[in-house]
Amino acid sequence: MQHNRHIGVIFGGRSGEHEVSLASARSILAALDPQKYTVTQIGITKDGVWLGSSGKENVLDAFLKGDTSALVPVTLLPDPTHPNIYTVKHRSNTDSAQGEDVVRYLSSLDVVFPVLHGTYGEDGTLQGLLELNSIAYVGAGVVGSAVGMDKGIFKDVMRAHNLPVLDWTVVTRSVIEQDLERAIQQALAVAPFPLFVKPANLGSSVGISKCSSRVDLVEGLMDAARYDRRVIIERGIQAREIEISVLGNEDAIVSEPGEIIPSREFYSYEAKYIDNRSELIIPASLSVETVRKIKELAILAYRIIDCAGMARVDFFLDKKDGNLFISELNTIPGFTQISMYPKLWEASGIPYSQLVDRLIELALQRKAERDHTIYKRMDN
């Protein structure tokens, strides 16, 4: 009889999307069938400490309550021959003040489901660690994650392939802090107001500002620079916000598109998570030709950055002339029961629990494909 697959669900993290990650993790954990999976919960604090349970403690509940004192430090070791999670316990030495750390086996891991939105989770860093451990994981690899995460580099890659994106520029935190006027002039060269300013490497609308004046621009640049060393300034348009979900590896499929009707002037963090008044319209009311183009562009963007597993691709549809622009590609989109990614699939015929199962299977398929690679020189 085949044993249950051991799934490690990692959540929390060191980004501004920590709380969003906890909400996504709650939904995913509830959907994992205990008849199929043995689950190990791994929470990462805002300081970057990995914590797990050595007994019956529920890690997610501890994070949600804000009391992780009963949890124990855990770690992965970069050893592909032992793809396990270990506890780390500090054992004091009665003869000295130093003591020692003792590493003990906690669980094997067949697949890791990263539910870490933003930096240190969605940007390729965690994916690199999992590659070193030779552990299957849900979602894009190192390259796809890194390119999808950095909005500026993503736009560079899209434009190199002649895919439509809004005009933009990127300024660094050091320029904003040391030569603010230079940063302002660089931003004003993009387009007339309004401009949108956002951290290049963050999601969930954290740190995004709509700027309609020079004063707004200064405030937006300073705010975005708090969250990232790279800040993107983008031409603002009056647009409908359209999103579509992608599922699969090399043979990816797309859902029907949906539309966001934000409760505020744009789809800010507050509009997404605080006031609960934004609307999700599924399917979006679009022409057959526009839907065809959105699906085509989403698959192209997904393949170009070598994405895998899942992504949500966001578009702007200009209300004035109907032009379509790719906004961004999220490799670990929001995953609560009411998030757009799973809701689009539910409307397209794949319910939440089946979606989670399929993502785990895709992770195993991707690893099997990687395992075909030869890393040694083959002598004749």
CATH number of the domain enclosing 32: 3.40.50.20
Same-domain check for residues 305 and 158: yes
Same-domain check for residues 97 and 156: no
Same-domain check for residues 133 and 248: no
Range of the domain at 340: 147-164+238-369
Residue 193 lies in a domain: yes
**Closest CA relative to residue 216, chosen from 263, 261, 266:** 266
Identify the CATH number of the domain in which residue 297 sits: 3.30.470.20
Q: Report the distance separating Cα 80 and Cα 91, nearest Å.
A: 27
Same-domain check for residues 70 and 185: no
Structural domains counted in the chain: 3
In tens digits, the chain (380 residues) has pLDDT values of 457 899 999 999 998 889 999 999 999 999 999 999 999 999 999 999 999 998 889 999 999 999 999 999 999 998 999 999 999 987 666 555 566 788 999 999 999 999 999 889 999 999 999 999 999 999 999 999 999 999 999 999 999 999 999 999 999 999 999 999 999 999 999 999 999 999 998 765 678 999 999 999 999 999 999 989 999 999 999 999 999 999 999 999 999 999 999 865 655 455 455 556 678 999 999 999 999 999 999 999 999 999 999 999 999 999 999 999 999 999 999 999 889 999 999 999 999 999 999 999 999 999 999 998 887 776 65
Residue 188 lies in a domain: yes
Same-domain check for residues 30 and 108: yes
Same-domain check for residues 191 and 318: no
Collect all residues with Cβ–Cβ distance below 8 Å to 238 and sequence separation of at least 6. 318, 319, 320
Contact 312, 244 (CB under 8 A): yes
3-state helix, strand, coil in the chain (%, to 5): 35, 25, 40
The pairing of strands 253-254 and 168-172 is unpaired
Residue 380 lies in a domain: no
Same-domain check for residues 125 and 15: yes
Same-domain check for residues 256 and 156: yes
Same-domain check for residues 231 and 253: no
Q: Is the dihedral of CA 301, 302, 303, 305 positive or negative?
A: positive
Residue 379 lies in a domain: no
Q: Report the distance separating Cα 252 and Cα 13, nearest Å.
A: 28
Q: What confidence score (pLDDT) does residue 265 get?
A: 62
User: pTM here?
Assistant: 0.92
Same-domain check for residues 267 and 365: yes
**Closest CA relative to residue 78, chosen from 121, 120, 128, 133:** 133
Same-domain check for residues 131 and 194: no
Residue 221 lies in a domain: yes
Q: What confidence score (pLDDT) does residue 55 get?
A: 82
Same-domain check for residues 254 and 289: yes
Of 189, 205, 235, the domain-final residue? 235
Q: Report the distance separating Cα 9 and Cα 319, nearest Å.
A: 40
